[in-house]
Amino acid sequence: MDYKMQELLALVKDLADRYTGKASTSITYETAQQLMGAVLYCIQENDSEEGMNGTELSGQNQFSTAREAYEAGNELVKAKVRKANELYSEMILDFNDYGNVAYHDTVVKGIPEFFRWYDPVLDPQNNIILMDYMVLKPLQEKKGVDVIYSYLRCIWLEQKFLRQFPESYVREVLIAYEPDYEFLFINPCGVLLRKVLLSMLIATNPSKTKLAPADYEKAEAYIKQRTKEALAADLSRQLELLVLNIYEDDKELLQYLRNIISDFAAELQNAASNHTLNHVI
């Protein structure tokens, strides 16, 4: 992005006129910052636009003026709002929070507030809501509709993963992990995935909702023999098998679930060293 400041200020002035309804020639410094942020946000949408299938697309559009870039970027913002709304409308039909309050409140109550209050013209960089429910993929660098769309995509993938297991099984695994899970800020998908991967790793029956003492001993002995890198590779292979056999080798789901592997391997090694695997799984 390399446009003259005069071009950007002209766009800010247009937005300021819209903001005030042309009833005033002055706006506060904070409002001016917001409107400049709106201009830059829309222009930047052309440079790194996240695809609607969850993949990153490198922007190849070149514009001769800042106004052209802004208008094209603003159309991308509006299109992403529509896509996000469509994704949410589809997902909420069979959304299951498994009794977790934070999960329910964020998805069922919070996200509709985004669509109600989001302003793609005057404040597109504002994502409006607090996303108390933590997904498995870091989204800190995103904002506005970009973070909301990515967030919804993550939740959609998590629901796809969870739906392959009976609800009673998921709830029992969550209770085994933490009896008061309903009131904690946890990620049901992450908890279940860790349990399944460790079960696969030590070749114990994944249908058991809680590992037996002998399973923990077996897991501890196995983990202590592996470096963190080797353990992560083992977990990744088990994940690939899981996605291949149950989710028809869904590459997007596989890529998303891989976000837990590195931290999970480190967590397992630390727990095995301290004989506390039962606190992890």
Lowest mean pLDDT among 53-57, 202-206, 216-220, 266-270: 53-57
Distances (CA, A) of 220 to 4, 58, 174, 228, 234: 61, 44, 22, 13, 15
Predicted confidence (pLDDT) at residue 209 exceeds the cutoff of 80: yes
Residue 166 pLDDT: 97
Look at residue 147 and tell me whether its pLDDT is greater than 80. Answer: yes
Nearest to 189 by CA among 280, 110, 98, 88: 98
pLDDT at 60 exceeding the cut of 80: no
Q: Which one, of 201, 204, 241, lies nearest residue 222 by Cα?
A: 201
Q: Write down the pLDDT at residue 258.
A: 98
Q: Is 136 within 8 Å of 256 (Cβ atoms)?
A: yes
> For the ranges 113-117, 210-214, 266-270, which has the lowest average pLDDT?
210-214
3-state secondary structure of 17: helix
Q: Tell me: the pLDDT tens digits for 30-56?
A: 999 999 999 999 999 998 655 444 444
Distances (CA, A) of 12 to 33, 67, 121: 9, 11, 11
Residue 185 has pLDDT above 80, yes or no: yes
Mean pLDDT for 167-193 is 96
